[in-house]
Amino acid sequence: MSRIAARFAELKSNARTALIPYVMTGDPSPEITLPLMHAMVEAGADIIELGAPFSDPMADGPVIQAAAERSLVHNTSLHDVFALVSEFRKSDDKTPIVMMGYLNPIEVMGYESFAQQAASCGIDGVITVDMPPVEAADYVPALKSQGLDPIFLLAPTSTEERIKKLADFASGFVYYVSLKGVTGAATLDVTSVEEKMQQIRRFIDLPIGVGFGIGDAESAAKVAGCSDAVVVGSAIVKKMTLNDGKTEQERSIIIKEISDILSAMRSAMDSL
Amino acid sequence: MTQLIDKSEKPKPDSVDYSAMPDEHGHFGIYGGIFASETLMQALDELRDAYEKIKTDEAFQKQFDEDLAQYVGRPSPLYFAERLTGQVGGAKIYLKREDLNHTGAHKINNTIGQGLLAKMMGKKRIIAETGAGQHGVASATVAARFGMECIVYMGAEDIVRQAPNVYRMKLLGAKVVAVESGSKTLKDALNEAMRDWVTNVDDTFYIIGTVAGPHPYPAMVRDFQTIIGREAKAQMQEQCGCLPDALVACIGGGSNAIGLFHPFLEDESVAMYGVEGGGLGVDSGKHAAPLCAGSPGVLHGNRTYLMEDENGQIIETHSVSAGLDYPGVGPEHAWLKDIGRANYVAATDDEALEAFHTLTRVEGIIPALESSHAVAYGMKLAATMKPEQRIIINLSGRGDKDINTIAKIEGIEL
């Protein structure tokens, strides 16, 4: 069983919802991401979504775009993401890691080479924002042949036809983007999320994570009530602007702030 | 600029059905496609369906033709540049005068088409990205005419370079939003416009200004722009009773070039040259010539040639001309390059500036800096050809918007 499937099975048996924080590799400094990942697990993260930066993140809002720009100052590449995950795996072999990024860096590396390296460093799933199922005929088999879960997005505007199509491709979990718009946009409407979740569940038998618009413990708890996983991105990435993360002390300030947010979300979600 | 007439080693395909491209998912060979996030898919499907409908809708096509004639002022002349031809000493040079269109460039052909489509789809709000500002002006113009709200995204750097066009857009009632992210140029404006569209998809129509973006944009924009080539073909026939020997057009995203090229693709005797922004020289790395010096990748919803580094990050481009300062190119051009049907070359900033002055002084026509790249290469090409041969250079826009840039480069205070 993959780490992702094992983690969702374990959560299900404990009647818990997964908490999935998103952070960008190398933001704001290359040194911060590894200790931050361990701290997030400590604070209650069940799966980590690890951003791979892209120069033109079309589907992201200003917060994540700025994160990519800060990361690219250090020339963070896919190789750096792989090296980071290898390090992480030395002391954590259980927490699933999902890489999230855009297609072009993967395209340039080659799907097979990417999949082979991603799997061997310990990445479990891949979200490629600008790779829809209709273009994924080579991409999905390349990932699956290495045991990687191709994770796809669904949106409020996704039609029944596209939800069905996704069922043939997706594995691991499905990421429901709960708002029209880009990451970090306005707050979400839980009732409409619930309705869409019911529609998705009719066709897809995978855990469903909900992201976009979850900024605090209260909204995390609300979403936890109707989903299998809560993804939180912009709310914690905003903390990366507290300082440059260059010194041990600077890094510990950021790590503590993010841990506090996650702990609060975790306890709100668990007290349902 | 090494080989002027590139009789490419690649075999020219015997039986390519150019009219069958792209396929139903927007592919031109391996290029094009729909590489967009799920949040955009519904909007793209809706647009594709609407576009398929109007392609064969007589009422729409009639309205489009009427607007091109009565509002844009088409047909634009095909002008024999006799003095320029004499100075160059070679093939006869004809200029397709897109600079004489309403708003001063070919961009209006496309915005009229997409504006009509937006109206038909009941959209109340138009958004657009712009580099040189010509597409922004053309979008703002159409929005004013149709009584729609218009937001134009423009890189902060381009806003400085193209101040007259920014003011023009504001006069037309558009809101111009400065984009401060990334390289603050056209590509970043496109990113920002996409974000707006994702957020306001219900009431908003996104008018992309070039033959890039996810399907159906490359095909749709091309189809609105082929009026250029269809007219040029008929005009050349009327004036000389023959086909031209070569076509030359500048390429940023490639909409004026594909507009000229496409109606001639099946005429094998017609050579085609797309001229990219060579910046400080293709070897310098500071240029905007992905077809000459880039590699295939995925950006802005389609697979095409890109300016990218070894990690797949998009690299900043350089061109004196804001309209060519784009790291990608329309996917159909990528395909035409690979199959060897069209040739892609570059003209440097200096060559374009020189051509700008030459055309202005010799023919009394002030070309846009973008179009000056085509003029620069066209003159070199013509010089290698015989006097009985003919080339058409697409004069895609007029240069009034560039006079501040030119004056600044040349140290002249206005």
Nearest CA to CA, how far is B33 from chain A (Å)? Answer: 7
What mean pLDDT is predicted for residues B153-166? 89
For B97, which DSSP code?
E
CB B178 within 8 A of CB B133: no
Q: Does A216 touch chain B (CB under 8 A)?
A: no
Strands B343-347 and B271-277, sheet pairing:
parallel
The tokens of B251 are what?
């390429």
B75 half-sphere exposure, CB direction, 13 A CA radius? 15
| Identity of residue B252 | G
How many domains, chain A? 1
Cβ B297–A108 below 8 Å, yes or no?
Answer: yes
On chain A, the residues whose CB falls within 8 A of the CB of B199 are 180-182, 185
Q: List own/partner pairs for B235-239 with CB under 8 A and 24 or more apart.
A: B235/B75, B235/B77, B235/B78, B236/B78, B236/B94, B236/B390, B236/B392, B239/B78, B239/B80
Q: Is A186 inside any structural domain?
A: yes
* Residues of chain B found within 8 Å of residue A131, distances taken between Cβ atoms: 35
Whether residue A90 lies inside any domain: the answer is yes
In a domain, A269, yes or no: no
Q: Token pair of A186, please?
A: 């306005």
Strands B31-35 and B27-28: antiparallel
**C-beta neighbour count of A62 within 10 angstroms:** 16
- Identify whether A270 is part of a domain: no
The string of pLDDT tens digits covering residues A118-175 is 999 999 999 999 999 999 999 999 999 999 999 999 998 899 999 999 988 899 999 9
Does some domain include residue A272?
no
- Whether B37 sits inside 8 A of A109 (CB atoms) is no
How big is chain A, counted in residues? Answer: 272
Tell whether A147 is covered by a domain: yes
Please give the structure tokens belonging to residue B106. Answer: 């070919």
Give the tens place of pLDDT for each residue, A57-69: 988 888 999 999 9
Cα-flanking dihedrals φ and ψ of residue B308, to 5°?
Answer: -145, 160
Residues 6+ apart with CB under 8 A from B139: B111, B115, B126, B128, B130, B150, B152, B174, B207, B209
Binary contact (B298, A103; C-beta < 8 A): yes
> CA–CA separation, B282 vs B317, rounded Å?
11
In this predicted structure, what is the pLDDT of residue A181?
61
- Facing residue for B37 by CB, picked from A78, A107, A153: A153
Q: What is the ipTM of this complex?
A: 0.94
Pick the residue from chain A with its C-alpha nearest to B43: A157
List CB contacts (< 8 A) between A200 and chain B.
none
**Which of B25, B180, B199, B298 is best to mutate for the A interface (most A CBs within 10 A)?**
B298
Active site residues of A: 49, 60
Confidence at B202, pLDDT banded by 50, 70, 90: confident
Q: Say yes or no for a CB contact (<8 Å) between A155 and B39.
A: yes
> How close, in Å, is residue B361 to chain A by CA atoms?
41
d(CA A185, CA A164): 27
Tell whether B34 lies on the interface with A, counting CB pairs under 8 A: yes
The verdict on residue A271 lying in a domain is no
Name every chain A residue with its beta carbon within 8 A of the beta carbon of B155.
none
Residue B356, Cβ density class (10 Å: 0-12 exposed, 13-18 middle, ≥19 buried): buried
What is the full per-residue pLDDT of chain A (272 aa) written as tens digits? 899 999 999 999 999 999 999 999 999 999 999 999 999 999 999 999 999 999 999 888 889 999 999 999 999 999 999 999 999 999 999 999 999 999 999 999 999 999 999 999 999 999 999 999 999 999 999 999 999 999 999 998 899 999 999 988 899 999 998 776 655 555 567 788 888 999 999 999 999 999 877 889 998 998 998 999 999 999 999 999 999 999 999 999 999 999 999 999 999 999 87
Q: Quick check: B404 and B164 in contact, CB under 8 A?
A: yes
- Chain mean pLDDT for chain A: 94
Give the span between the Cα atoms of A80 and B208, in whole angstroms.
35
Q: Is B306 on the interface with A (CB under 8 A)?
A: yes
Active site residues of B: 107, 129, 396
Work out the average pLDDT over B352-368: 98
Q: What is the pTM of this model?
A: 0.94
CA atoms within 13 A on the CB side of B239: 17
Q: Would you say residue A66 lies in a domain?
A: yes
CA separation for the pair B319, B289 (Å, rounded): 9
Q: Which domain holds residue A121?
A: 3-264
Which chain A residues touch B49 with a CB distance below 8 Å?
A: none
* CATH code, A230: 3.20.20.70
